[in-house]
Every structure is written in C-alpha cells, then in structure tokens.
Copies of this chain bind each other. A is one copy, B any other.
Amino acid sequence: MSLKVVVIGGGSSYTPEIIEGLITRYDQIPVREIVLVDIEAGAKKVAIIEALSRRMIENSGYPIHVHSSFDLRASLEGANFVTTQIRVGGLEAREKDERIPLKHGLIGQETNGAGGVFKAFRTIPVLLEIAQAIHDICPQAWMINFTNPAGIVTEALLHHSPHKKVVGVCNIPFNMRTGIAEMFSCPVEQVEIEFIGMNHFVFGKRVFIHGEDRTTEALAKLTEDKVDYSPANIVSLGWSKAFVTALQLLPNPYHLYYFQTEEVLKKDLDAFRNNGTRAEIVKQVEDSLFLTYQNPSLSEKPKELEQRGGAYYSEAACNLMESLYTNKQDIQTVNTLNNGSIRDLPDDAVVEINAVITKDGPRPLAIGKIPPHIKGLIGHMKTFEQLVIKAALSGDYYDAYNALIMNPLVADEKKAKIVLDELLDAHKEHLPQFYRKGAVI
C-alpha cells in the first residue's frame, strides 16, 4: 500500500520538520505523495517550502512525490493522513490577540486568555469546513490537528464535524518528556509521564522511568536542580519549591500564565513597550528562516527550526501517523475524547492524555480521579473551553462574554466587555459568525 499525506498550511515554516519525519519513517509508513496545501496569499512561502521539501526527499533517495496546491478538495482525493497547521488571519491577527488585552492590563497571549479565545473563534469555523471536506472526499483519512488552541479546536471538531477520525497533538508533552529524560540521563523512550488535564493546562501526575515510579525525585529535581523544560516561546521564570511541593505535580510551561500572572504581565508589558509582542519577534524569526530555506544547497531541516516554540510538533504528528498506520499500540500523549479516562471530566470532553495508539485510533488509559487540589481548577478550565466552543459556533455576543468572564485571566465584569468589543471589531473580517444579520454587536 502506498500512502498519501496532505499538509494543510503547507507553507508554514514548520513543514520541513514534517518532511524530515516522513523521510525518517519511510520504512514503517511508505508515503508516496505529499501535498502542501495553502491559501493563495501564501503562494510565495509554499513555493519555497515545496522546493526545499523536494531537495530533502531527493537527498533521501525515497520515491516520494511532493507538490503544492491551492485547491483543498482536489488535494484530498485518496489521502490517508491530513495534518492541519493553519493561522487564520496570519501573524497580524496574532499581534492583535496579544496587543489588545495587554492594553487593558490583561495577559496577551495567542492560546491563553482573551487572545486565545479569539484565536479559537477564528479557527474553529475554518477547521470545521476542512473536516467536512475530508469527510466528503477521503473519509478514511485521519485528520491530525496541531493548530492552536489545539485542545479546544479538537473538541470542536469531534463534537461538531461528521468526521470523527480526528486527533490533536501538541509538542508540550513531548518537550516535558525530553526534559525529564535529560533530568534522569536516560533515553526519552524510557520516560512515561502520566498526564492529566487539557492542552496547555496539563499537569504531570506521575513520572515513570522504564516503568518505575520516580515522581518524587522528578519533583525535587525540578526545583532543586532548577531543571527547565519550557519551549522557546515561553521564558520560564522557574517554579518555587513551595508551589511544586504543595502541588506534588509537574506544572507545564503554560501554567505560568495562571500562577505567575502578575510577573508575566509585567514582563510582557515591558516587552510590548520595547521590542514589541511575541508576534513581532516571530515575524523576524520567520523571515530569517525563509531566507535560509531558499538556499539551494540546503537539503535537510535546518537546526534553527528547533529553536522555535513549536519544535517537535511534527515529530509528535509523525509518531502518531506511524502508530495509526501500523497498529503499533505504543503509548503517546494526544488530545482525544476523555471517554471515562478522567473520572471528573465529561466523557465527551477532549483531554490531553496518554493513549494506546491503534489502527482504530487512540484508546486513552484510565487514570481515575483528578487529585483533589486541582480538580476544581481543571473543571473550571474545561467549562471555559466549552463556553469558547459554544460561542465560536453560535456567534452570540453573550456566549462570547461568558467565555471571557469565565476565563481566570479575564474574570472582570467590565474589562470582559471592553476587550470583547475591541477584539470583535479588530478581527471582524475573520469572524463572520458574529456579524450575521440580527447578531448583537
């Protein structure tokens, strides 16, 4: 059997990683065709990526055919895997998600707080359309989403799209495992972290090294040896001994937005006044990466790519494709329906969890109850996520207000309205659902 992979958002600077991943796994998953799909506005970028991909494949010697397309539906014919890594509104939209909340003294970040809410509002309808196209044209294909906010988006797809073969992936769990492997000087394959929670709000509950429970040591090292496993886009401030000892859990890097809010806000406001937002930094990094990519003598993924916050996203996606195709039954951390694995969350909630990956999809491991001290907070965040999805679909002003007021990084009766109104206006072009006739704006 020969396989076809469709990469939606193929012009992304991360694409070379996915090309490398597919080359590396060729013996396990014999991919013969890769289509890089993008929108016409991204034509220049996708051409650069396509050319680099060709050089990489040629260098590998494998008979893989890569080409690009602006025609989504045509590209999907016969696909076995479809990956989605899109950014509706581009980095310009990200900049607004960051700047507008900051202006009002709130965390401005693209996957958390008010900014994350609006990224979800813009993204969910577009991904639902893509999922519908997959369902119509290649219903056998697995859709592997790594578009952020990955957990919320995956839940929206699994609830509201007829296509049910959808898995969400994030690089954070992989990064945490890598960090722990360094901590214990062991190969990453020997590290299992029992994760509990949702994407960007997940905790590590237990750490196993080759099947042995080493949680206590891992927690001690985290504060005593100041071990850090944050990705490039999050400047870690470290975690205090009191916090980690009391929680008895591994926080994930995004938790700093919730537990170090004031300090992060201060740093971000400083950055905002001086160098600009993260979106602006990313723009520069991207420009530089694309210059590198155009080097005709480059025929492998450049090292610089690993410095980006999203590094290893594609690694996670390729691991997943391999196990789905081969029925490997190994354990990976994915975003999938809870289905009972976490007792205190609804069955139909998407959680970030360890699952056995089979040809039939991920089967999450049951991990029982959430530890009592974080049960409430995780439940609160899940409620928030559900409110975001509801509003993204309804385009209802008050639904959107509820999503914002229930976000712990907003939670202010008056500011909720102010940032809601400004963000709705700023993103008008990409939020048609809120501007339908009769809508309250």
Contact = CB atoms under 8 A, between A and B. Distances in A.
Interface string A206-221: 0010111100000000
A422 interface: no
Contacts of A402: 246-247, 373
Contacts of A384: 376
Contact of A376 (B213, B366, B381): B381
A242 B399 CA distance: 11
Contact of A377 (B247, B329, B374, B380): B380
Interface stretch (A39-47, A293-301, A333-341): A333-341
Interface in A360-419: 360, 363-369, 372-377, 379-384, 386-387, 398-399, 401-402, 405-406, 408, 411-417
Interface stretch (A21-29, A48-56, A176-184, A258-266): A258-266
Given A359-B212, A405-B246, A366 B341 contact: yes
Which one of A247, A331, A364, A376 has the highest number of Cβ atoms from chain B below 10 Å of its Cβ? Answer: A376
Nearest to A239: B413
A240 interface: yes
B212 A360 contact: yes
A151 to B, nearest CB: 15
B373 A365 contact: no
A414 B399 CA distance: 34
Q: How many copies does the complex hold?
A: 4
Interface in A339-360: 339-343, 347, 356, 358-360
A414 B365 contact: no
Contacts of A262: 105, 412, 415
Contacts of A212: 359-360
Contact of A260 (B213, B329, B372, B412): B412
A330 interface: yes
Contact of A398 (B245, B261, B341): B245
A214 B297 CA distance: 50
Interface string A185-222: 00000001000000000000000101111000000000
Contact of A387 (B259, B339, B369, B373): B373
7 contacts: A210-B359, A213-B360, A259-B405, A340-B342, A340-B369, A347-B368, A365-B366
Given A213-B360, A341-B341, 5 more contacts: A192-B358, A243-B417, A339-B367, A340-B343, A340-B368
